[in-house]
Amino acid sequence: MTLMTVTHTPRTATTDDAEPVGRILAAAFDDDPMMRWFFPDGATRAEGLRRYFTTLFTRQYVRHGVCEHTGAATSFWVSPEGRDKAVPDAETVRELQDILGDRAAAFREAVEAAAEHSPAEPHWYLAVIGADPAARGQGHGAALLRSGLARADAAGLPVYLESSKPDNLPFYEHFGFTVLGEARLPGGGPTLWAMRRAPRTDS
């Protein structure tokens, strides 16, 4: 019998992985409150999410972040050094606005609101992490999270993230994150929880 544990090993994602990355994240975020706020039409959400995450991956995070994947999950991380470079350029913004259509303004307001609470201290930022719903509970997301946390711990740096899905908070808390605060997105959007994890050293 062939063991499948190899599929849980985080691997660096490249532009050649754009298709599975976009597909996995579209499925992973289909029930995410913020993504449903940006893509309210259930009939077109899957394709919109696929294009959205593929654009973020190919134009932003694969260039200036650390992107990893397993057989069924993907994560995008930003280092302290890549923080300024990871901001979408004008062409990326135009592509995202085209994808979001009449929800582009809501997206822009949400990004601006989140930026107001961006921590000043040097840190690693977990921008995106998601697993295919068909593989949830199999450890794919946890493997990616551990990989990024180990990198931050080695540098002695904290990790920040935001989540709009309350069901995910216990998962992050299990890995040492604590909730810093919560904010309602402008225009009646969902609640966003900011979380931080302090660096750990080997005892």
- pLDDT of 116 strictly over 90: no
Computed over every residue of the chain, the mean pLDDT equals: 90
CA distance 80 to 19: 28
The tens digit of pLDDT for each residue in 46-67 reads 999 999 999 999 999 999 999 9
* Strand 73-78 relative to strand 159-163, pairing: unpaired
202 band by pLDDT with thresholds 50, 70 and 90: low
Strand partners, 68: 12, 75
Q: What is the pLDDT of residue 1?
A: 36
7 band by pLDDT with thresholds 50, 70 and 90: low
Q: Tell me whether residue 88 is in a domain.
A: yes
- Which pTM does this prediction carry? 0.91
* Number of folded domains that form the chain: 1
Which position has the token pair 């300024």?
A: 84
Q: What is the pLDDT of residue 192?
A: 92
Which range of residues forms the domain containing residue 146?
5-159
Q: Tell me whether residue 201 is in a domain.
A: no
Q: What is the pLDDT of residue 203?
A: 45
Question: Looking at residue 108, which CATH number applies to its domain?
Answer: 3.40.630.30
Q: Tell me whether residue 173 is in a domain.
A: no
**pLDDT (average), residues 142-170:** 96
Q: Tell me whether residue 85 is in a domain.
A: yes
